[in-house]
Amino acid sequence: MAEFWTTSGLDLLVATQRSRRRASLEDGLRQAIESGRLAYGTRLPSSRSLADDLGWSRGTVTAAYDQLISDGYLHARQGSATVVGFRPDRSNTVAEATPSGTPWRYDLRPGTTPIGSFPVEEWLRHQGSALRDAPPTAFGYGDPAGTIELRTALAAYLGRVRGIRASPETIVITAGITQALSLLAAVLRQTHPGRTIATEDPGFWFHRDALARSGLPIVPLPVDQEGADPQGLDVAAVLVTPAHQYPTGVTMSPARRRSLVAWARGNDALIIEDDYDGELRHDRRPVPALQADAPDRVIFAGTASKALSPAVRVGWLVVPEALVDTVGQTQRHLLHNVDITTQLGLAHVISHHAYDQRVRAIRVAYRRRYQQLSALVSTLTESFPGMRLVGVRAGGQAPLLLPPAGPSEQDIVASAASEGLALEELAASSHTPGSHPPGLLLGYAHPADHRYHATLQALGRVLRREFA
Ligand SMILES: Cc1ncc(COP(=O)(O)O)c(C=O)c1O
């Protein structure tokens, strides 16, 4: 490894390796940009002067610059200098590192929203107005079920958008669905001591883990093309994702919704409805929440993580009347309250229809991203039959099934990691890995806009290489 100060034109300190000239220049510049050492707008030496300084051919430097331009790290305009076009502190960094310790260049893992898209100014405006109008009593310990402003705004919003039957009194504010599940686990331990809960198989591993850590025994809830099927299970509750099953992407059929509710009534069981991205169907109107079919049996759980940000940490439960007191009292001891600035800010955002506008904008963006992903997969399917996207078009992730005769999911994830692309295998969602068809769960919400094309190209490269 050598370090060079270039001596003409502009100075640039960059670590390079003689044996992998282009790749090492690319890596060195990328790391310098991602770490903020080369700030947004910094002018780089021309390819000619850098090539002279390094004693390399100009083509090698140009190739490295071109790759960084297509990845969104650099900007070049005809006739003017190449500059850094990436702001690491805002929208683009992926904090964790690859197994080899370098930062991820591309990320298609599910579960995150575009980091750069939080509407800071708008949020501050709504929060400011809400706090200025709040009565002095708002700044006390408050009701552990949440502020009346947010619960009232949510009751109206959820009725209008998700078909939910709720009064503000049946709503409990949480710090997102994950916290809501720990809360419900504590409630179930009181109301159904010694009983188990069934979580979807495949299903969201993190929530399975959260429930297990809360001390509830867990059994698998089978999922087929109609959604989760609880027949034959003897459990106190099931956790389901009816609008957009995670990860298979199926929407629960009307017949299965009816049989699920009938099963719950027949077994005196509760249904916890995880509606994480219920508003974000992007090919047609979303199906109404299951809660509307059985408000006495279904605990509805929603979140602002998908439409606003997972960092804001706010969600909501709509609870059957018979459970309102127990859930509220349990929340008093677990969390007490989501902070007042978030609650009042969100109430203002919802009641001024800014939440609707944001959901609508996200749907449009995700529809476009899905189409680009789907176009890539169509070309891959021609060479590798059996590779296909499945599930409805909703939210920010889609399962990609892989030809069973090909390399293992783990091999593909490892191969992708070697070029800085983060992927998640479908097996992560299974109660028993290996028991479901092989695939990847592609989260297309995360990359910044200008990185999306390059991210899909990286995915295409990895899949072609692995299946060739
Ligand atoms: C299936 C599912 N439910 C819920 C959530 C959101 O959880 P939280 O509200 O705790 O952010 C996610 C986030 O990725 C999810 O994948």
* 5 Cα distance to chain centroid: 42
Decide if pLDDT at 67 tops 70. Answer: yes
Query: What integer pLDDT is reported at residue 322 of this predicted model?
Result: 95
Task: Count the neighbouring beta carbons within 10 Å of the beta carbon of residue 411.
Answer: 12
Question: pLDDT band at 39, cuts 50/70/90?
Answer: confident
Which residue among 239, 273, 276 is best mutated to probe the pocket of ligand 1, counting the most ligand atoms within 8 A of its Cβ?
A: 276
Of 180, 161, 149, 216, the closest CA to residue 305 belongs to: 180
Query: How many Å lie between the centroid of ligand 1 and the Cα of residue 149?
Result: 24
Decide if pLDDT at 31 tops 90. Answer: no
Q: Which atom of ligand 1 is nearest to the CA of 178?
A: 10
For a pLDDT cut of 90, what percent of the chain falls above it?
76
> Which tokens sit at 94?
């992926």
DSSP state of 20: T
| Per-residue model confidence as pLDDT tens digits over 206-256 | 999 999 999 899 999 999 999 999 999 999 999 999 999 999 999 999 999
**What element of type H or E holds 414?**
helix 409-418
Question: pLDDT band at 95, cuts 50/70/90?
Answer: very low
* 73 Cα distance to chain centroid: 23
Q: Which atom of ligand 1 is nearest to the CA of 180?
A: 10
Q: Which atom of ligand 1 is nearest to the CA of 305?
A: 11
143/171 Cα distance (integer angstroms): 12
Q: How would you classify residue 190: left for phi > 0, otherwise alpha for psi between -120 and 50, otherwise beta? A: alpha
157/355 Cα distance (integer angstroms): 9
Query: What integer pLDDT is reported at residue 96 of this predicted model?
Result: 58
Query: What integer pLDDT is reported at residue 2 of this predicted model?
Result: 44
Q: Which residues of 258-275 are buried (b: 16+ CB within 10 A; e: fewer)?
A: ebbbebbeeeebbbbbbb
Query: How many Å lie between the centroid of ligand 1 and the Cα of residue 209?
Result: 13
Query: How many Å lie between the centroid of ligand 1 and the Cα of residue 312?
Result: 13
Give the helix, strand, coil percentages of the chain, each rounded to 5: 45, 15, 40
319/183 Cα distance (integer angstroms): 12
Residue 397 φ/ψ, nearest 5 degrees: -145, 155
Give the pairing of strands 106-107 and 421-422.
parallel
Decide if pLDDT at 153 tops 80. Answer: yes
Q: Which atom of ligand 1 is nearest to the CA of 274?
A: 3
Q: Which atom of ligand 1 is nearest to the CA of 304?
A: 9
* 59 Cα distance to chain centroid: 39
- Kindly report whether the global pTM for this prediction surpasses the value 0.75: yes
Question: pLDDT band at 42, cuts 50/70/90?
Answer: confident
Q: Are 196 and 235 in contact (CB under 8 A)?
A: yes
Decide if pLDDT at 6 tops 60. Answer: no
Q: What residue owns the CA closest to ligand 1's atom 4?
A: 276
For a pLDDT cut of 70, what percent of the chain falls above it?
94
Q: What residue owns the CA closest to ligand 1's atom 2?
A: 276
Q: How would you classify residue 240: left for phi > 0, otherwise alpha for psi between -120 and 50, otherwise beta? A: beta
Q: Are 51 and 7 in contact (CB under 8 A)?
A: no
Q: Which residues contact 113 (CB under 8 A, 6 or more apart)?
A: 305, 306, 309, 310, 362, 396, 445, 446
Ligand 1, CB cutoff 6 Å, lining residues: 111, 176-178, 204, 241, 246, 274, 276, 303, 305, 310, 315
Among 113-122, 126-135, 413-422, name the one with the lowest average pLDDT.
Answer: 113-122
Query: How many Å lie between the centroid of ligand 1 and the Cα of residue 317?
Result: 13
Q: What residue owns the CA closest to ligand 1's atom 7?
A: 177
Domains in the chain with CATH codes: 2-90 (1.10.10.10), 120-352 (3.40.640.10), 357-467 (3.90.1150.10)
301/291 Cα distance (integer angstroms): 10
Instruction: Read off the amino acid at residue 194.
Output: G
295/221 Cα distance (integer angstroms): 22
| Per-residue model confidence as pLDDT tens digits over 11-30 | 888 888 888 999 999 999 98
334/331 Cα distance (integer angstroms): 5
Among 12-26, 117-131, 299-313, 314-328, name the one with the lowest average pLDDT.
Answer: 12-26
For the chain, what is the largest distance between any 2 Cα atoms, rounded to a whole number of angstroms?
Answer: 81
Query: What integer pLDDT is reported at residue 245 of this predicted model?
Result: 98
Of 411, 409, 339, 398, the closest CA to residue 371 belongs to: 398
Q: What residue owns the CA closest to ligand 1's atom 3?
A: 276
Q: What residue owns the CA closest to ligand 1's atom 13?
A: 111
Of 8 and 27, more confident: 27
Query: How many Å lie between the centroid of ligand 1 and the Cα of residue 261?
Result: 23
Question: pLDDT band at 91, cuts 50/70/90?
Answer: very low
| Per-residue model confidence as pLDDT tens digits over 424-441 | 999 999 998 778 889 999
> Which tokens sit at 379?
């070309």
355/348 Cα distance (integer angstroms): 9
* 60 Cα distance to chain centroid: 38
Question: pLDDT band at 81, cuts 50/70/90?
Answer: confident
Please, what is the average pLDDT of the chain?
A: 91
Instruction: Read off the amino acid at residue 452.
Output: Y
Query: How many Å lie between the centroid of ligand 1 and the Cα of residue 281?
Result: 16
Q: What residue owns the CA closest to ligand 1's atom 5?
A: 276
Of 183, 178, 434, the closest CA to residue 319 belongs to: 183
Query: How many Å lie between the centroid of ligand 1 and the Cα of residue 142?
Result: 26
Which residue among 174, 204, 214, 245 is best mutated to probe the pocket of ligand 1, counting the most ligand atoms within 8 A of its Cβ?
A: 204
89/102 Cα distance (integer angstroms): 17
Which residue among 245, 280, 303 is best mutated to probe the pocket of ligand 1, counting the most ligand atoms within 8 A of its Cβ?
A: 303
Q: Which atom of ligand 1 is nearest to the CA of 241?
A: 1
The helix/strand/coil state of 229 is coil
Q: What residue owns the CA closest to ligand 1's atom 15?
A: 276
